[in-house]
Amino acid sequence: MTKRTGTPGADDILRKELANGMILLARENESSRTAAISAFIPGGDMTNPQGKEGLSGLMASLLTSGTGTRDDQAISSFLETIGASITFSSGMHGLSMRISCIAEDFDPVLSLAAEIVQDPTFPEAKFQQNRDQMTAALRYRAHDTGEMASLLFRKLYYGDHPYAVDGMGTVRTLAGLTRGDVETQFRSALRTAGTILAFSGGIPTERVLESVAAAFGSWNAAPTLSERTDPVAGAPSAAREHYEIPGMSQLNYVVGFAAPAILDPDYNALLLGNCVLGQFGMMGRIGNVVRDQNGLAYSISSALNPLPLGGTWLIQAGVNPDNFEKALALTLSEARRYLAEPVSAEELADVKSFQNGVLPLVLESNRGISSALLRIERCGLGLDYYREIGSKLAGIGAEEILDASRRYMELDRAVIASAGTLERGA
C-alpha cells in the first residue's frame, strides 16, 4: 500500500473483513514508534434488559478484572511494566475498546485484549467493588446540574424510544444486579460480526492484519439479545420541564431540536451553521451575546449530536439561577436572529477556515487517527472522507445553511430542560 504521513485516504488505509465478520481498518504511521487501536464492539446499553439498566456499563468496567489465565493484578502489572493501556466503556450501541502501546509490544498487548474480550472471569470481589463505585458515581451525578439537565432533555425529547433510557441505570437497578447478570450479559449481548478495529501506528498494515487475525480470528460471539432499531419518530412537540436540585449555585439548561444523520445532504451545511451559532471563537454568536455582552451565562455553546437512529441539535448553557429566564429568552432571541437571514460572508469564511484548521489537530496522533478511522467506518463516510470534506464544505453557501437550519431548528417545537435551584430556601 502507499505509505503517507498526510491525511488518511483510500490509497493508504487497509480495510479488511475477517472470516468471523470483524472489520479492520489500518494505517501505517511510519514516523511513529507507538500504536493505537480504537474499537467498537456491538452490544451496548440498548441491550440492557428492562429493569437492569447499568448492566452493560458494569460489565464493561469488569472486563479487565481477570481472565481464565490472569487475574487483575497480573493484567495491570503487565500493562504498567510496558507503559501500555487497554480500556473499555459502554455506549448506547456498543462497547468502546481503546488500546495504546509501543509498537514493539503490539502483539502481546493485542493478544491480551483478545483474551479479555473472549475469556473474562468477572471476579465477585471486583463485581461488588465496581458496582459500589458506579452507585457512588450516580449519587454524585445527581448533584451535577449539567448532567441532570441533559438526562431530562433526553427523556423529554425521546419519549418511549430507547435513547431516553439512562444507560448508567439508577441506584435501585444497580443494587439488583448480580455477577450472574454480568456473565449473562457478556454471553448474550456482544457480537463479533460488525466489530470494528481501527489501527494507527508504526507497524506495516499487512502485519497488523496478520496479528489481528491471529488474536481475534477464533472469536465468534453470537448474541441472543438485540436492540431496537426503529428510528426516532421525528422531533416531538414543544416541551419544557425543570428538575429541582436544592442548594445549587449554578443552573444548566438545554434547548434542543432534531438533527440529521451525518450522511444527510443537510448535515455539512448545519455543521457550518452550528459553528457560527455556538462554537467559533468564544462560543459563536450565542456566546458573544448571552455571555460576553450581557454577562448572563458562565458558559454557553451549541452542538450537533447525530445519533444513528435520530440525533439532536443542542444549545447548552450554565447560568446563575437568578439569570435563567433572561438568559433563556436571549438564547431563543439569538436563535430567531440566526434563522432570520443568512450568515455573513465573513462568518462563513471564518468557520470554513476553522473547520479546515481543526482537521490536522484531530489527525496529529495515532489515537486521533484511529478514532477518525473508526468514525468513517461506523458512519459509512468512505475512506476518502477526510480528504474530501474540505472541498465539500467549501462549496456550501450561506443560503444553503439558512435553508437547512430552518428545516431543523423549529423554535415552536423546542424542547427545553433545566436543572438546578429555582426554589430559594429549598
**Span 32-56, pLDDT tens digits:** 999 999 999 999 999 999 999 999 9
- Tell me, what DSSP letter sits at residue 20? T
Question: What cell does 154 get?
Answer: 433526553
**Span 230-249, pLDDT tens digits:** 999 877 899 999 999 999 99
Identify the CATH class of 239-420: alpha beta
Question: What cell does 426 get?
Answer: 429549598
Phi, psi of 37 (to 5 degrees): -125, 135
What is the structure's pLDDT at 6? Answer: 84
What is the structure's pLDDT at 1? Answer: 53
Q: Decide: 116 and 41 in contact? Cβ < 8 Å.
A: no
The fold adopted by the segment(s) 14-217 is: Cytochrome Bc1 Complex; Chain A, domain 1 (3.30.830)
**Span 325-374, pLDDT tens digits:** 999 999 999 999 999 999 999 999 999 999 999 988 889 999 999 999 99
At residue 53, the 3 state secondary structure works out as: coil
What is the structure's pLDDT at 398? Answer: 98
What is the structure's pLDDT at 4? Answer: 53
What is the structure's pLDDT at 426? Answer: 44
Q: How far apart are the first and last CA of the chain?
A: 65
CB contact set of 3 (below 8 Å; sequence gap of 6+): 12, 28, 30
Return d(Cα 342, Cα 277) in angstroms, integer.
Answer: 12
Single-letter amino acid, residue 130: N
Fold match, 14-217 / 239-420: yes
Domain boundaries, the chain: 14-217, 239-420
CB contact set of 127 (below 8 Å; sequence gap of 6+): 58, 62, 179, 182
**Span 187-214, pLDDT tens digits:** 999 999 999 999 999 999 999 999 999 9
H/E element, 244: strand 239-244
What is the structure's pLDDT at 227? Answer: 86
H/E element, 106: helix 106-118
- pLDDT < 50 stretches in the chain: 2-3, 426
108-135 exposure pattern, b = at least 16 Cβ within 10 A, e = fewer:
ebbebbbbbbbebbbeeebbeebbeebb
